Structures are given as structure tokens and as C-alpha cells.
Chains A and B, each alone.
Chain A
Amino acid sequence: MQPFTTHKGIVAPLDRSNVDTDAIIPKQYLKSVKRTGFGPTAFDDWRYLDPGEPGMDHSKRRKNPDFVLNKSPFDRATILLARENFGCGSSREHAVWALTDFGFRAVIAPSFADIFFNNSFKNGLLPIALKEEEVDALFGLVKDNPGAQVEIDLPKQTVTAPDGTQYHFDIDSFRKHCLIEGLDDIALTLEHREEIKSYETAQVAHTPWLFNDLRGHTGG
């Protein structure tokens, strides 16, 4: 996973609440068996005027000139600013892959849906929840100064706006650690292999009906 420490970049204002993962990456692109290549079709229905299908050359499609990510300088944005409940709906991690593949390193919103929030951390995308009035202020700043850069400092847990205002954000300490170090959490969990095995052994005796496949031999 790509580690995240500090990042400075252009903020794209997506002034919508309840942006769902179907909107971030429509279903037809979920047929891919890869983790990459979702960037050109991020926000497909909003970004293009013609319908898209997997395998198309998306650079040749008609872009919607009114959509924020089609406007300069937001087409080079690396931070997405949105309203409440960002990433709701489907569990598709493809939504996160689409955002990172587009070039986003962070999303700032007043609140996030739980599954999207979890998925982000697994892919080096930092979801930052700020207070509603802080998000409002950032929308105002970006509107007045398009292309102004915002700086994110994960170790210090701060967002610095173009006018110098600094906002603090909360983050779970374990997630912060994993993101800064770019850690593989499967390897971390497997350090507890013996504990998992002894849990299993106890459960085979306690709820044997859940362990038809393990009864008589040990797990792992």
C-alpha cells in the first residue's frame, strides 16, 4: 500500500451529499478482475455525456463540460471535497480504486459511509471528516480561489487551507500508523496466528455445528 504522510494538492469541490459508490464507479466497470484502470471511468455518468462500457477508449468520449472534474484546474485535483455521507451504498472497493487511479490521495467531507471509509485506508486514500462548518468554509475558499492548494499533514492530523487556516481531524491511532507506514495488515494479523488457532480449537468444542469442516483436525 502507498504510504501517506503529508500531501499538498488542488481541491475539487463536489457539492453533493450522499455521493454513493454507484455514482463513483458504475456497475458495468465492476466486471474487471483487476484493481487498476478505474480512473478514466470514475464518476462516469456525471463525467461523460455518452454512455460508457468497459473496453472503450474513454479519452474519445464526450465530456460533460459542467462536471467539476472536467474543468481546469480540477482535472488535476488530488483532494476531493464533498458533503455528508460520502461513499454510501455498495461495498465495492472499486470506488476507492477509481478515486486513487484518478489521482486522489484524500477525500474531505463532514461524514463518510462506514464500508467506504474502511476501504479507503486499505488503499492509501485518506478520508478526512471535518466539521460541517469547516467543510463549508473550504467550499467557499475553493470557490473564490480555484486551484488553490490545501496541505494535509497526517502525523500532525491537520488540514491547512489556502488562507492559512488550520483544521484538526481525528483518526484512529492504529489506522494512522498503518497508513503512515504503508503496512500490510494481513501480515500483522498473521502475527497472531496461534491465538486464532486456539480460539478455533475452543470454538470447535463450544459450537461444533459451525465447524463441520474442522472437527477432528486443527485449523490453519
Chain B
Amino acid sequence: MAGKTLYEKLFDAHAVRQQEDGTALLYIDRHLVHEVTSPQAFEGLRLAGRKPWRPGAMLAVPDHNVPTTNRAEGIVDPVSREQVSTLGRNCEEFGVQEFPMADLRQGIVHIIGPEEGFTLPGSTVVCGDSHTSTHGAIGALAFGIGTSEVEHVMATQTLLQKRSKTLQVRVEGDLGPGVTAKDVVLAIIGKIGTAGGTGYAIEFAGSAIESLSIEGRMSVCNMSIEAGARAGMVAVDEKTIEYFRDKPYAPTGEMFEQAAEYWRTLKSDSDAEFDKVVTLDATRIAPQVSWGTSPEMVAPVNGKVPDPGAEPDPVKAEGMRKALAYMGLEANTPITDISIDKVFIGSCTNARIEDLRAAAAVIKGGRVADNVTLAMVVPGSGLVREQAEKEGLDKIFLEAGFEWREPGCSMCLAMNADRLEPGERCASTSNRNFEGRQGQGGRTHLVSPAMAAAAGVAGHFVDVRQA
């Protein structure tokens, strides 16, 4: 019998019971909650007279709606304010721990989970947010769910799940200088497509993935959903274990060593079989820039905007035409000829301390270009912000003309006041370039933090390897 994949190990370890039709009732160890997808679930509990099964397995934080400036003044938008205060009231009523807006530990839900050691290797993690896949980077089974499932987890601590197929994405070889985790995942999505992982749980593996830091692996797993996979994960190694020493909610002392011993088993067996394997050559990955309205529409920075006329599939060609029209781009334009109006460095994809260090390293000494009307850095959490300030990164950003903001989801989805105006073009470290995602009519180009910073200084995309 073949060995087990990491996904199968995690799934089997959490199966409370197997149903006859092959689905399993899966136990959920960690439930992250934010203000947007939880109010209807709490209301559902209330209407049915139910209580959360295990409030101690939940951690709540407002992130989508929170302002990133003048936070002391509270939230100006009354609708946003009501949603954030509803979260506070619900957490109080149901006994759920919350990091409110004024708490130093507040931040983007997927940044604070690992940062606090609340999400741990070997755990099952859910959240009413598709980027929950981020936590797979630490060897957890983590995936996004809808609000009805949020309510189901609150009430039962379980979810009914069908076993996914398994896809191993191997990235082999050394990444070139200036090529980051973000470029790796954009290249993967470009290769397998936005539905390439639908129905699969992805395990990212290979020497290039192993060489990434835990934070880099989080950027990769974060965008699994952009390839259609609800869950993405990386095997536990010594880096993973070291990452969790001294995290507030992680085990300590003898229990840490006991946990670490278990965590070391969280890797696919050498004879495990995947349903599908895709391999990429890391040495051939260049810094990536998305040119369209789907994350699969990416090109290397030294490439050109593709020509729909050269696409043989008519449905695909029509999609490309619509994307180019929305983006205001001509086919065959060199990527480095695309000038930008705004820069957004932030989001659950790229707002950890290493991301800010990478951006600052590129900016150092430079100034935001005259044609760039707004360049902003939004740290992923209060603790990331504090660390960056200790290192003096805030000064580098501010001196270069970047705005230094308070933590939240911000312009990744523009639920707060941070947004693009119609027609504005943005170099963004976020995860989705959908129409209207960053503001109605806004045009998003997904890039790494270093590439976003370099574009901010040049006023157009540049190859960070030559910057």
C-alpha cells in the first residue's frame, strides 16, 4: 500500500466519522472569525438557540472594514462601523476572544493567526475567508468556508467534507535574485490556470519551496485559491518548528518538544501518490506582473502583454479581449512600458515583516515618481507595524513619499476608504486583479513587494533584478 500524502494525514487525523458516501465529519481545531462573514452566522446561532461548541477554539478580529488612518477617531462610515461593532457585541455575547481595533495584536486575520501561534502545524483551520489557505504554509489543513459553514463550525466544531484530490506542485532549483515567493505562486497560477486546482488540495514542494522562509511559504499558500484550490500546504521542516518557538499561543517547554516531535511527522510519505503532479523550473521564473482581470493572466516583467489574436481557444480569446479592454492595455505592449498611478503594499499575501523589508530595500534612497499619486504601505498587523518601526522601515517609506498606514485588509478589496478611482492603475501586492476589486473601474497589477516598490519609484513597471 502506498504511503500517505500530507493532506491525507491531516484529513484522517481529524475525521470524527466517515459517512457512507465517502464524506467525513472533520474536526476543526481553529476557527478564525472576522466582521464581514460572521454576523449572519452568529445571528443563525441566536435564532436557533444554539451556543458555540467551543468558543476557546475561536479567535476574532476586525480587518476588512477598519480604517488605516486616524484610527483613534474610530470608523467614519456608519455601515462599516456597525459591522465592526456587531463583531464586538457577538464576541462578548458568545464568549469569543477578540482583538479589537485598538489592540496592538489586531491585524489581518491570516497574518495574526500564525503570528500569535494560534494556528499551529497539524491543526485544521477554517475562516469565512478564501485566503485561509495561507495557514497551510505551516503544515496545517486550512481552507476558506462560507457563512453557513461558519455557523456550522461554531455550532458543532466540525464540517462535513468530501476528500479532495491531491495535487503536488514541485518547484525545483534555485530562484534567481529578486525573484520571490509571490513570483513563484503567480507563475504557478499562470501555468495551471485559475481553475487548475479546483477539486484539489495542493501541496507545494521541491527545493525552491523548501528554501523559502515560513513567511514566503505563506505568500505561496495564500494564493492557492487563485488557482482554484481551497487548501494549499507545505510540509513541516525545522524552519516551521523554529517559527513557533516563543509564539504567544504556541505550546512551551516540554509540551513544545512533544508537539515538535509530532509536527516532524507532517510530511508526505516518500511513497505517497498524488492524483496529479506539476513541476516548475525555479531558475526559469522571472518577476511576474499580472496584465488582466484574472490571476492566471500573468507575464514575466521582461515580457509583453499577450495578443488575443494568437489565442486559438475562442472563449479564452474573448476573455482576453474583455480583460484588455477593462485594463486599458494594448496587446504586445512591453510590461515595463505600463505606467502606474498608485502603489499598494499590503494584504494577507504580502504584509508580513519580510515583505516590508524587501520593499524598503528597493526603495532606499529613492522617491515616489511624480506620476504616482498615492503609494501606501499597510502592515499586516499591529505587531508587524511595531517591528518595522523598530527597524526604521517606516522612515524609509515615509522619506521616499510612501504613506505608512495602520493594519488591515485596506485596498486589497477596498471595503474601507482605501480604493482606486475609475481608470486608475495600481501596482499591488494583493491577490486578486478582478474587475472592480480595488475600487470600481480600478486596474490592478499583481506583483511582489519588491516589484511594487520599484514601480512606485520608477512610475512604471521595472525589472527589479536591474533596479
Q: A residues touching B (Cβ–Cβ < 8 Å)?
A: 16-18, 20, 22-23, 26-28, 30-35, 45, 51, 54-55, 83-85, 88-94, 96, 111, 113-115, 118-119, 122-123, 172-174, 185-186, 189-190, 192, 195-196, 199-200, 203, 207-210, 212-214, 219-220
Question: How long is the Cα–Cα vector from A16 to B315 in the complex, in angstroms?
Answer: 8
B16 A192 Cβ-Cβ under 8 A: yes
Interface centre among A210, A219, A220 (most CB of B within 10 A): A210
5 contacts between A and B (CB under 8 A): A88-B228, A89-B434, A93-B128, A174-B19, A219-B53
B198 in contact (CB, < 8 A): yes
Interface locus among B35-43, B106-114, B276-284, B371-379: B35-43
Give chain B's interface residue range (CB within 8 Å of chain A).
35 or more
Q: Which residues of A contact B415 (CB under 8 A)?
A: 27-28, 30-31
State the CA gap A210–B124 with chains docked (Å).
Answer: 10
Stretch from B1-9, B143-151, B176-184 that touches the partner: B143-151
- On chain A, the residues within 8 Å of B19 by CB distance are 174
B123 adjacent to A210 (CB under 8 Å): yes
Contacts of B152 in A (CB 8 A): 185-186, 189
Within 8 A of A (CB), among B123-163: 123, 128-130, 144-149, 151-152, 155-158, 160, 162
Q: Is the CB of A92 within 8 A of B198?
A: no
Which among A88, A93, A113 is the interface contact of B148 at CB below 8 angstroms? A93
Given contacts A17-B319, A209-B120, contact A55 B195 (CB under 8 A): no
Closest A residue to B159 by CB, please name it.
A189
Q: Smallest Cβ distance from B14 to chain A, in angstroms? A: 8
Please, how many angstroms separate the alpha-carbon atoms of A13 and B251 in the complex?
A: 54
Given contacts A114-B228, A122-B149, A214-B56, contact A172 B21 (CB under 8 A): yes
Q: How far is the CA of A16 from the CA of B413 in the complex (A)?
A: 22
Contact A85-B194, Cβ < 8 Å, known A196-B16, A210-B120? yes
CA distance A28 to B23 in the complex (A): 36
B25 in complex: contacting residue of A96, A172, A189, CB < 8 Å: A189
| Pairwise interchain contact B37-A91, C-beta atoms closer than 8 A | yes
Minimum distance in angstroms from B360 CB to a CB of chain A: 29
B376 to nearest A CB, angstroms? 18
Quote the shortest CB–CB distance from A112 to chain B (angstroms).
Answer: 8
- Chain A residues closer than 8 Å to B148, beta-carbon distance: 93, 119, 122-123
Question: Within 8 Å CB of A220, what residues of B?
Answer: 53-54
Q: Which B19-61 residues sit within 8 Å CB-CB of chain A?
A: 19, 21, 23, 25, 27, 29-30, 36-37, 39-40, 43, 48, 50, 53-57
In the bound complex, residues from chain A placing their C-beta under 8 Å from that of B432 are 20, 22, 89-90
**B322 (CB) vs chain A CBs: closest residue:** A16
Docked Cα-Cα span, A200 to B79, in Å, equals 39
B80 at the interface (CB under 8 A from A): yes
**Which A residue's beta carbon lies closest to that of B29?**
A210
B83 at the A interface (CB under 8 A)? yes
- What CA separation (Å) do A22 and B122 show in the bound complex? 32
- Residues A192 and B146 in contact in the complex (CB < 8 Å), given A85-B194, A185-B152: no
Question: Is B366 positioned at the interface, with any CB of A under 8 Å from its CB?
Answer: no
A168, B466: Cα distance in complex, Å: 56
A119 to B151, CA, bound (A): 12
Q: How far, in whole Å, are A135 and B34 apart by their CA atoms in the complex?
A: 37
Contact (A83, B315) CB under 8 Å given A88-B228, A91-B37, A118-B146: yes
Using known A-B contacts A83-B315, A196-B157, A207-B262, determine if residue A33 contacts B195 with beta carbons closer than 8 Å: no
Q: Which residues of A contact B83 (CB under 8 A)?
A: 31-33
Chain A residue numbers with a CB within 8 Å of B25 are: 189, 192, 195-196
Rounded to whole angstroms, the CA-CA distance of A45 and B25 in the bound complex is 39
Q: Pick the contact of A22: B27, B256, B262, B437 (CB < 8 A).
A: B437
A172 to B162, CA, bound (A): 10
Nearest chain B CB to A63 CB, angstrom units: 16
B195 touches A174 (CB 8 A): no
